[in-house]
Amino acid sequence: MSIFEERESAIRAYCRVYPVVFDKAANARQTDENGKEYIDFFAGAGVLNFGHNNQRMTKAVVDYIQSNGVTHSLDMHTTAKRQFMQHFTDTILKPRNMPHKMQFTGPTGTNAVEAAMKLARRVTGRQDVVAFSHGFHGMTLGALSATANQYFRNAAGVPLNHVKHFAFGCDKTCPGCDLGCGMNSIDQLTAIYQDSSSGIAPPAAFLLETIQAEGGVKVASKEWLQALEKLAKEVGALFIVDDIQVGVGRTGSFFSFDDLGIDPDIICLAKGIGGMGTPMAMNLVKPELDEHWSPGEHTGTFRGQDISFVAGDQALTYFDNDELMKEVKANGQQMAEALAPLAQRYPDVNVTGKGMILGLDVGNGDRAKAIVNQCFEAGLLIASCGTGGRVVKLIPPLTTPQSDLKTGLDILVEVTDRVMQMERAA
Amino acid sequence: MSIFEERESAIRAYCRVYPVVFDKAANARQTDENGKEYIDFFAGAGVLNFGHNNQRMTKAVVDYIQSNGVTHSLDMHTTAKRQFMQHFTDTILKPRNMPHKMQFTGPTGTNAVEAAMKLARRVTGRQDVVAFSHGFHGMTLGALSATANQYFRNAAGVPLNHVKHFAFGCDKTCPGCDLGCGMNSIDQLTAIYQDSSSGIAPPAAFLLETIQAEGGVKVASKEWLQALEKLAKEVGALFIVDDIQVGVGRTGSFFSFDDLGIDPDIICLAKGIGGMGTPMAMNLVKPELDEHWSPGEHTGTFRGQDISFVAGDQALTYFDNDELMKEVKANGQQMAEALAPLAQRYPDVNVTGKGMILGLDVGNGDRAKAIVNQCFEAGLLIASCGTGGRVVKLIPPLTTPQSDLKTGLDILVEVTDRVMQMERAA
Amino acid sequence: MSIFEERESAIRAYCRVYPVVFDKAANARQTDENGKEYIDFFAGAGVLNFGHNNQRMTKAVVDYIQSNGVTHSLDMHTTAKRQFMQHFTDTILKPRNMPHKMQFTGPTGTNAVEAAMKLARRVTGRQDVVAFSHGFHGMTLGALSATANQYFRNAAGVPLNHVKHFAFGCDKTCPGCDLGCGMNSIDQLTAIYQDSSSGIAPPAAFLLETIQAEGGVKVASKEWLQALEKLAKEVGALFIVDDIQVGVGRTGSFFSFDDLGIDPDIICLAKGIGGMGTPMAMNLVKPELDEHWSPGEHTGTFRGQDISFVAGDQALTYFDNDELMKEVKANGQQMAEALAPLAQRYPDVNVTGKGMILGLDVGNGDRAKAIVNQCFEAGLLIASCGTGGRVVKLIPPLTTPQSDLKTGLDILVEVTDRVMQMERAA
Amino acid sequence: MSIFEERESAIRAYCRVYPVVFDKAANARQTDENGKEYIDFFAGAGVLNFGHNNQRMTKAVVDYIQSNGVTHSLDMHTTAKRQFMQHFTDTILKPRNMPHKMQFTGPTGTNAVEAAMKLARRVTGRQDVVAFSHGFHGMTLGALSATANQYFRNAAGVPLNHVKHFAFGCDKTCPGCDLGCGMNSIDQLTAIYQDSSSGIAPPAAFLLETIQAEGGVKVASKEWLQALEKLAKEVGALFIVDDIQVGVGRTGSFFSFDDLGIDPDIICLAKGIGGMGTPMAMNLVKPELDEHWSPGEHTGTFRGQDISFVAGDQALTYFDNDELMKEVKANGQQMAEALAPLAQRYPDVNVTGKGMILGLDVGNGDRAKAIVNQCFEAGLLIASCGTGGRVVKLIPPLTTPQSDLKTGLDILVEVTDRVMQMERAA
């Protein structure tokens, strides 16, 4: 019996999907201890936007450590943090005229979301936050209240209050409606908040992902997002975008909403922002909101991770020019084109997404599981998401070489065809 | 205006206490960008038990990165994780006959506490957790409910339910009683839970630190802890020790409770366990409890930090023999002896603690603040804790060289004398 | 200064609308201490279905008291209670093949609703109850959670959890939709409960009024109610009808839903059931649900009001034959016809209702207030309801004599015309 | 099968203790339908302070009904209400210099308690209310949160938050301590509220009974009550006395606290205040607190019960002079003397109480049940209370004739002796 079977908690999950022991990794490939290589379309659940052991980053990090740079600094000032903050300000914030302050929380996405919810409640003096069906925001009790999936919610063991869920993303013509009910969710929300007898009081904030990644790669329409932001302003609520999985270049631009004409009050970042899987979480907060914080009100031991500042600073070099983002758009195009025939061949199959995050909805979880397993056998790491796990999610590193991208897509298409056709044959 | 003033959130705190920019760090010393060195009695809030840039760890980490080891693995298996788990099992668990499973949560202490609370509620089907006055368990909503300090609680913006607080640490003769009310808290708890009309139902768990570090270095008596564990068994509740700040060698033994004759159901670890400030959090859970988890019910992007496994593996080498722990005990003795005269000289001053965590309670927060500030001027990093920040806390790296330890203690004693005497003079 | 101004709480309300001191009352008339008579279209907020001091009841009650009948009996057996229960069983339950048990709660509607919610949660093991926008269910904390009006909710001072509100009454074509959003609320609810990632778990119960009286005389469609009942069964939730204001003959039949083809699991009754304003509240509960109660789990000092049993027994005589119910239907027709021209004359004016409860929606609260005040001056007691108080509600005693009914309607129509025309003139 | 068995809810309770059908009642006697008479030491759970069908009241009520007095008036003004309010002001409030306003809530004790809790939360802007172990305050969700008994609490089906329970009634020497833990609860509370890291924030109110009637006739000491009131003022919390069961003359004075030197901010009254079992509930509220109410924020259909005003007005005549209160004191003395020998004979037996409420604690619920049953057989109605039902509670009408009082006491003593001795013999 391995030490994993002997001593690791029953809660372990991905190791059941990929039952090998990984040893090495570089850019879009991982190698197991037997030397078998896998193309990685999973990227550590969307963390490794710049690939495993990105060479710009490994070099900088090794240099930093070898020169005795401060590695752990809480919220003290360090030269590494200064470098990261200056770079982020110059490359990301200033070109967008964003006045936002940077708040470093404990280095997990859930912690950033908790901080955002606290601040929204503080600023408005209200308690309820609105989140959306299929949204995923984390596992700690505050963020979990906003996460929609009942499997995760059931683990809480206590009622998850002070968050109300509504349908996600519907626009006037309802193509993206996840409820299939034909309603217009913005009109509904507007009606609810204009009516003092609706039973539902105005919220502290609307909290959402522009693309629900774990929720099944559901893409909100530009119109819906703009209308929601407008509604938030009208009812005096904050507009918070959780860009943890789809920010940092994933959609072909630094923020997932750069082309959507919205101006969030708070933006939650984590995953890719820390560079090479080195943990960081950061909220961008409008200054007039940020000033409601008192020093140290929301702390966290690991909120000053200088190795992550160093690696994250290297990640920002990918945004100093538009080369990588151009590639992401091209790659995204290529990925969509590769999958399109599947949607044509099988009525149950749908493809959604933007940039280098795509969802291949195969209709049910059993099929998706079969596809994931057979891809793994064929040397492709990929995972499923969405209700019942019915959506195969493609989130390769943004830096994936053309050859790996093509090979991975070929495997996926071939495996999907095989799974769909075996079912027909049966 | 610096980038920090321009762009960092108003919530920043420690940088206000130590208003410099740090650049380098090694073992018990940090150096600011102007080259001024500071002896570090704060150790990153108790994270850096083995010093800044511990050479065993920097070497192992650099080797790991340069060989393209997997750095980010969620809960997949990796060779680095296997090495850490095997080492931990052999060095820590087996010699103590501890059957506990290892659950890796998101790499913050608060996340480990949240997972422990979820599991306790799942196992017992109860909702309330008992925590204690002055306890500190984290900032996310579940853990924050257990944290006692009103300053942190007020930031929640929603009611913090499902946790009940009671007085900490009283034994039969009440010397450790933090309420000064002469009551015997275990008898009270027993009476409450035996009475179906007390208004208070039996809890899912008792959650506590054996030494409340942030709470003011309050040390629970062995008798009280044993009685509490007995009560937990009687009422069918779990007994959870949050050893995040005082575990991993801090008290002269790996666990803070190795000499206390208790057997916790769940032990929460973070901070020092990850090695050199590299983030990790881990719960040790008795197997019969752990099996209540379903796969992936409590997830977290950064729950597989292989750099932390590599550094943490090196940290475990300090427990392969008893050299360091002997030193910790000797150093602790030296520290206590250095401070004892202060307690004799000033009736308001008290010293508490165990091993290399000591609290110098100077009676009020203003004095403590003056001491912290003047120590900083004199080249010593130290911080305060406890209600109103009245306790100066000493948590130097366990590996602090004798000379640095002595110098630091000399500065602290001299500054404390000066502050106390200036007050008398005024 | 009167004793009322001197000593009555600032919370008093109706006495501000009708600033006189009432002295006598008989059937549909009240007389103030100066001898001025008022026709009563308010009937004690829908309590006095059989008029003030109904002669059948006053005689029976006086006889009962003078013969030393037990007046206060908690849930002991009394001959008066037996008589009431037998009469109710024979006249109401048996003809409808209703197997329901009778649970007498504390004699307020809110108490009956609280008991129903407790039982639904007990039976299902779930916590959330679904209630509807504009619903009114009472003022105690459990029932208040289901009441939609923010004015009442704000008085709670604590979060009102464990109830979710949805839009009321929409059918496929949405004519009754109170949100104006074009959605189909049953389809929405169905979608929500079929989706394990909607963020909303199946409820313990759906709690609703078939006609929202306080909510503005909103009438649910038969189709919507049947679909909701069907959904309740599908998701394993109870279907609870709060018939407190519109039951006991108000709509032309004993229950408001006798002609709607639904079969509620629990029916909450109060107001009219106690006869002459003598307090009683009673839940009708299906036997298989009722058996989940343990003795005395939901008590209340005044749950055995024998004067109310005696008066209520007399009230049941009105249902031993169909005379009164025929009159109610005819009167309702007459009332609707009297108001119809107002809706034709003024585009802002709408009339809703059924039987002898009608709502005259005049578009805003200021108009309604003016109408109520001028009616009072003209000798008609009437009150407003709905969001912002914009709906003038007609709930005269069912026993109102033809002449009083006509006079009252004439006053109302004339006053409404005057108010609407003065506004036009201005 | 009787209609009760056939149709009454399984929740019925007292009818199981007294399995007969009562028909008539006068003063301290009830008669069943077979003509058997019972002396009543239960008085409708403390409602019938002036006996069944008190002749002053029946006459006044019959006159009122026969003259077509208004019976149901919500919070409109009526002549009957004016008479009651003036009488109450003149007889009760003015002689005590009490400036309190009178708030009439829905006519159940639980409703009065809910209103008091709402107002306390409104005034202070705080959420938590402190209640006490063994306290009983009602069954609706807000009041139930304050009720200590787990049997009732378990019926809620949702968490009961925003109330914290502490030990009741301990004074410096702890004789009344119900927890047996030797602690001094006021010192504990003081310590908790002075410590910003206790985990427990200052409350909106302290809510308590001076004598816990349902809780087992536990009598708080004068010293404890005064210290608690002082603490309430210090921490900015309201001091609320629930005098529902032990007010209105029960202890030998109108309020239970007339001789205790306290000045409650809010006093909740119900039960006896309505006269002859006719329902009324009323809060007395200091004017500066009352003005925080807005009109109609806490309503209730039956908050204007004029029959209860008429009967209650008659009840007040018993306080126009001190005759009855003198008798109550004498009767209380006689009752205590009758029971004292039981406490001497049996070490398990204790007697507590004041005026005409006494508790005979017989050590366990089985004995108490046997005593209650055998008393019933012998013609005495009496009930048990306290944890596990171990306390036999004596609350006869204050107007009980000497002969009935003596006969009832004789039966109780004889039955208790028999039960205690049979146990010894066994």
Q: What is the mean pLDDT of each run of 10 residues along chain A (426 residues)?
A: 96 97 98 98 97 98 98 98 98 98 97 98 98 96 97 97 86 39 65 89 97 94 90 97 98 98 98 97 98 97 97 98 98 98 95 97 96 98 95 98 98 97 85
Q: For residue C159, list chain B residues with Cβ-Cβ distance below 8 A.
A: 158-159
Contact assignment for C150 to A201 by CB distance below 8 Å: yes
Domain locations in chain A as residue ranges = 18-47+322-425, 58-319
A44-73 burial code (b ≥16 CB/10 A, e <16)? bbbbbbbbbbbebbbebbbebbeebbbbbb
Confirm or reject contact between B195 and chain A (CB < 8 A): no
- Tell me, what's the pLDDT at D300? 94
Q: Provide the chain D residues 107-166 that lie in CB contact (below 8 A) with chain B.
A: 127, 131-135, 147-151, 153, 159, 161-165
- Other Cβ atoms less than 10 A from the Cβ of A410: the count is 13
Contact assignment for A187 to C180 by CB distance below 8 Å: yes
- Tell me, what's the pLDDT at A195? 87
Cβ-Cβ pairs closer than 8 A, A with B, add up to 362
Compare C188 and C258 and report the one with higher pLDDT. C258
Confirm or reject contact between A222 and chain C (CB < 8 A): no
High-pLDDT (> 90) share of chain D, %: 89
Confirm or reject contact between B369 and chain A (CB < 8 A): no
pLDDT digits (tens, 9 = 90+) for C282-314: 999 999 999 999 999 999 999 999 999 999 999
Q: Provide the chain D residues 10-39 that lie in CB contact (below 8 A) with chain B.
A: none
Å between D217 CA and nearest CA of chain C: 18
DSSP label at residue D294: P
Q: Which of B23, B139, B161, B162 to mutate to test the interface with A (most CBs of A within 10 A)?
A: B139
Write down the mean pLDDT value for chain B: 94
DSSP label at residue A93: I
C314-345 burial code (b ≥16 CB/10 A, e <16)? bbbebbeeeebbebbbebbeebbebbeebbee
Q: For residue B101, list chain A residues with Cβ-Cβ distance below 8 A.
A: 7-10
Contact assignment for D387 to B196 by CB distance below 8 Å: yes
Q: Answer yes or no: are the C-beta atoms of B72 and B305 closer than 8 Å.
A: yes
Å between D340 CA and nearest CA of chain C: 30
pLDDT digits (tens, 9 = 90+) for C350-365: 999 999 999 999 999 9
Contact assignment for C134 to A197 by CB distance below 8 Å: yes
Q: Which residues pair with D283 in a beta bridge?
A: D103, D268
Q: Provide the chain B residues 271-300 that lie in CB contact (below 8 A) with chain A.
A: 271, 276-279, 283, 285, 290-291, 293-300
Q: Answer yes or no: are the C-beta atoms of A276 and A58 closer than 8 Å.
A: yes
For C155, which of D82, D118, D157 is closest by C-beta distance?
D118
Where residue D184 falls among pLDDT bands split at 50, 70, 90?
Answer: low
Closest CA to B178 of B417, B327, B387: B387
Confirm or reject contact between D40 and chain C (CB < 8 A): no
Å between C156 CA and nearest CA of chain D: 5
Q: Which two tokens stand for residue D170?
A: 């301990």
Where residue B178 falls among pLDDT bands split at 50, 70, 90?
Answer: very low
Q: For residue B10, list chain A residues with Cβ-Cβ distance below 8 A.
A: 101, 290-291, 293-295
Contact assignment for C198 to A133 by CB distance below 8 Å: yes
Domains C18-47+322-425 and C58-319 share a fold: no
Largest CA distance in chain C: 65
Q: For residue D174, list chain B residues with Cβ-Cβ distance below 8 A.
A: none
Tell me which chains share at least 3 CB pairs under 8 Å with chain D.
Answer: A, B, C
DSSP label at residue A356: T
- Tell me, what's the pLDDT at C364? 94
Q: Which two tokens stand for residue D317?
A: 């005549």
Cβ-Cβ pairs closer than 8 A, A with D, add up to 3
Q: Provide the chain A residues 54-73 that lie in CB contact (below 8 A) with chain B.
A: 58, 61-62, 65-73
Distance of CA B214 to the CA centre of its chain: 8
CA distance A159 to D161: 11
A221-256 burial code (b ≥16 CB/10 A, e <16)? beebbebbbebbeebebbbbbbbbbbbbbbbbbbbb
Residue C93, C-beta contacts closer than 8 angstroms, at least 6 positions apart: C99, C100, C284, D7
Q: On the CB side of D256, how many CA atoms lie within 13 Å of its CA?
A: 31
Residue C376, C-beta contacts closer than 8 angstroms, at least 6 positions apart: C17, C18, C38, C382
* E strand residue ranges, A314-405: 350-354, 357-361, 380-381, 383-385, 391-394
- Tell me, what's the pLDDT at D173? 38
Asked if residue C414 has pLDDT above 50, the reply is yes
Contact assignment for A197 to C148 by CB distance below 8 Å: yes
- Tell me, what's the pLDDT at B184? 59
pLDDT digits (tens, 9 = 90+) for D331-355: 999 999 999 999 999 999 999 999 9
Comparing alpha-carbon positions, the chain C residue that sits nearest to A215 is C197
Contact assignment for C69 to D20 by CB distance below 8 Å: no
Q: For residue A282, list chain B residues with Cβ-Cβ distance below 8 A.
A: none
Asked if residue B421 has pLDDT above 70, the reply is yes
- Does an H or E element contain B218, and which? strand B218-219
Å between C167 CA and nearest CA of chain B: 26
Asked if residue C268 has pLDDT above 70, the reply is yes
For A301, which of B21, B52, B270 is closest by C-beta distance?
B270
- Tell me, what's the pLDDT at A184? 59
Cα distances from D54 to residues B158, D25, D244, D276, D382, in angstroms, run 51, 10, 20, 7, 20
For B11, which of A11, A52, A103 is closest by C-beta distance?
A103
Classify residue B160 as left (phi > 0), alpha (psi -120 to 50) or beta.
beta
Confirm or reject contact between D7 and chain C (CB < 8 A): yes
- Other Cβ atoms less than 10 A from the Cβ of B413: the count is 16
- Tell me, what's the pLDDT at C425? 84
Comparing alpha-carbon positions, the chain B residue that sits nearest to A47 is B301
Å between B396 CA and nearest CA of chain A: 14
Å between B175 CA and nearest CA of chain A: 31
Q: Which of B6, B67, B72 to mutate to test the interface with A (most CBs of A within 10 A)?
A: B72
* E strand residue ranges, C319-361: 350-354, 357-361
Q: For residue A198, list chain C residues with Cβ-Cβ distance below 8 A.
A: 133-134, 148, 165, 179
SS3 state at D122: helix
Cα distances from D5 to residues C81, C100, C265, C281, D9, in angstroms, run 13, 13, 20, 20, 8
Write down the mean pLDDT value for chain D: 94
pLDDT digits (tens, 9 = 90+) for B212-263: 999 999 999 888 899 899 999 999 999 999 999 999 999 999 999 999 999 9
Comparing alpha-carbon positions, the chain B residue that sits nearest to A109 is B301
Comparing alpha-carbon positions, the chain A residue that sits nearest to B127 is A158
- Tell me, what's the pLDDT at C172? 36
Q: Residue C402 is which amino acid?
A: Q
- Does an H or E element contain A365, and which? helix A365-377
Comparing alpha-carbon positions, the chain C residue that sits nearest to D137 is C300
pLDDT digits (tens, 9 = 90+) for C362-403: 999 999 999 999 999 999 999 999 989 999 999 999 999 999
Tell me which chains share at least 3 CB pairs under 8 Å with chain C.
Answer: A, B, D
Q: Provide the chain D residues 300-339 that lie in CB contact (below 8 A) with chain C.
A: 300-302, 305, 307
Asked if residue B181 has pLDDT above 60, the reply is no
Compare D194 and A310 and report the one with higher pLDDT. A310
Q: For residue D10, list chain C residues with Cβ-Cβ distance below 8 A.
A: 101, 290-291, 293-295
Cβ-Cβ pairs closer than 8 A, A with C, add up to 128
User: Is residue D405 classed exposed, middle or buried when 0-12, 13-18 and 19+ CB atoms within 10 A define those classes?
Assistant: buried
Confirm or reject contact between D3 and chain A (CB < 8 A): no
Q: On the CB side of B24, how many CA atoms lie within 13 Å of its CA?
A: 11
For B73, which of A22, A46, A61 is closest by C-beta distance?
A22
- Tell me, what's the pLDDT at C177? 42
Cα distances from D154 to residues B124, C117, D173, D262, in angstroms, run 16, 13, 34, 34
Confirm or reject contact between C196 and chain B (CB < 8 A): no
Where residue C180 falls among pLDDT bands split at 50, 70, 90?
Answer: very low
ipTM of the complex: 0.96
Tell me if the domain spanning C58-319 has CATH number 3.40.640.10.
Answer: yes
B18-47+322-425: CATH superfamily: Aspartate Aminotransferase, domain 1 (3.90.1150.10)
Compare D80 and C191 and report the one with higher pLDDT. D80
Q: For residue C192, list chain A residues with Cβ-Cβ distance below 8 A.
A: 133, 179
Asked if residue D178 has pLDDT above 50, the reply is no
- Does an H or E element contain A116, and which? helix A109-124
Q: Which of A165, A178, A197, A390 to mutate to test the interface with C (most CBs of C within 10 A)?
A: A197
Contact assignment for B77 to A21 by CB distance below 8 Å: yes
Classify residue D128 as left (phi > 0), alpha (psi -120 to 50) or beta.
beta
- Tell me, what's the pLDDT at D183? 43
